Amino acid sequence: MNKVTVIIPNYNGAGFLPDCLRSLKKQTYTDFCVIIVDNGSGDSSVSYVKKNHPEVRLIELGDNTGFANAVNVGIRAADSEYVFLLNNDTVCDERAIEALVRVMDKNRSLFSAQAKMLQLKAPDLVDDAGDYYCALGWAFAPSKDKDSGRYRKRTYITSSCAGAAIYRKSMLEEVGLFDEAHFCYLEDVDLGYRARLYGYRNLMEPSAVVYHAGSGSSGSRHNAFKVELTAANNLYLIYKNMPFLQVLINLPLIITGIIIKHVFYVKKGLGKAHIKGLLSGFSKIFKGHGKRVPFRGKQALNSLKLQLELWLNCLRRIGIV
């Protein structure tokens, strides 16, 4: 049994997998194995892995079941203390896994630790150095496109970006895995926020560096597919992770956040996709009654603590702090 299982969800990633897997072979930390969960790729991904990487365990799914289901399949198949989730369009610095394992070993209250993700084509710029959630109902990465030199300190965050993050498997079994109703987008924010409600913490470890091509599966930063899913998943996330009173407290800000987002997407010609996503979000809420966090004891108390953070993150989002 290895201490770490690297889980790579893959969908038509034949162009990215060679560099990704090559970087894993160069790791200074060696007590890990690799599972690739293929989401019904139509390219040469499967044949490439079978031919060139027989040491990798390949799990083939017949269809594109989404990021959340694919990584859950990998997590359930893993027999290790930690699982390291890694996008297929990434390249890991040789000490990335070593740094993540070290910080998790030292801090037993950590649910997850994410790498400092830099842009593959512009490595001086950050892709993601930790995700936050605010009372406007926005998940955001304030580090996006910023100079990497500004993010040298270990930082506690709302949630880890699952594109390059290590999770403690025992805690995953306690708080639950990724919610497959998300399909993809915000499933990692949902999970990280849920872990916070259980009293655990998430962290960005700057000494673990991973280079990310970005939008390797969906193709661009803003498109109808992303807009629809993120709009739907955001409403679903709020419903699942906030008690009714907290939703009421935040409702004016949430509505404001939705209006601002809609104006933004209308300007990009994606207004209809945003409306469609919001309607889909209400559908997910009606179907997801059994997935609400049980707000008893520590979950209720931690929701109050998180409320202060949600307000603070509003200030962080608009650049005041």
Report DSSP state, residue 159.
B
Residues 266 and 129 in one domain: no
Residues 130 and 264 in one domain: no
Identify the pLDDT of residue 296. 87
What one-letter code names the amino acid at 20?
A: C
Gap between the Cα atoms of 155 and 130, Å rounded: 8
Residues 120 and 151 in one domain: yes
Asked if residue 260 is part of any domain, the answer here is yes
Phi, psi of 214 (to 5 degrees): 90, 130
Residues 52 and 101 in one domain: yes
Report DSSP state, residue 239.
H
Residues 155 and 252 in one domain: no
Gap between the Cα atoms of 60 and 277, Å rounded: 29
pTM score of the predicted model: 0.94
Q: Are 73 and 61 in contact (CB under 8 A)?
A: yes
Listing DSSP states for 48-97 in one string gives HHHHH-TTSEEEEESS---HHHHHHHHHHH--SSEEEEE-TTEEE-TTHH
Residues 9 and 70 in one domain: yes
Residues 31 and 175 in one domain: yes
Per-residue pLDDT of the chain (321 residues; tens, 9 = 90+): 899 999 999 999 999 999 999 999 999 999 999 999 999 999 999 999 999 999 999 999 989 999 999 999 999 999 999 999 999 999 999 999 999 999 999 999 999 999 999 999 999 999 999 999 999 999 999 999 999 999 999 999 999 999 999 999 999 999 999 999 999 899 999 999 999 999 999 999 999 999 999 864 445 678 999 999 999 999 999 999 999 999 999 999 999 999 999 999 999 999 999 999 999 999 999 987 778 999 989 999 999 999 999 999 999 888 776
Asked if residue 158 is part of any domain, the answer here is yes
Q: Are 174 and 84 in contact (CB under 8 A)?
A: no
Asked if residue 262 is part of any domain, the answer here is yes
Gap between the Cα atoms of 65 and 68, Å rounded: 8
Residue pointed to by tokens 């293929």: 38
What one-letter code names the amino acid at 212?
A: H
Residues 11 and 116 in one domain: yes
**Domain encompassing residue 267:** 224-317
Residues 189 and 252 in one domain: no
Phi, psi of 216 (to 5 degrees): -65, -30
Residues 149 and 15 in one domain: yes
Tokens coding 13: 């990633």
Q: How many domains does the chain have?
A: 2
Residues 119 and 31 in one domain: yes
Gap between the Cα atoms of 314 and 319, Å rounded: 9
Cα–Cα distances in angstroms (integers) from residue 111 to residues 97, 108, 191, in the given order: 16, 8, 10
Residues 201 and 63 in one domain: yes
CATH assignment at residue 129 = 3.90.550.10
Q: Are strands 32-39 and 57-61 parallel, antiparallel or unpaired?
A: parallel
Gap between the Cα atoms of 170 and 165, Å rounded: 15
Asked if residue 218 is part of any domain, the answer here is no
Identify the pLDDT of residue 321. 63
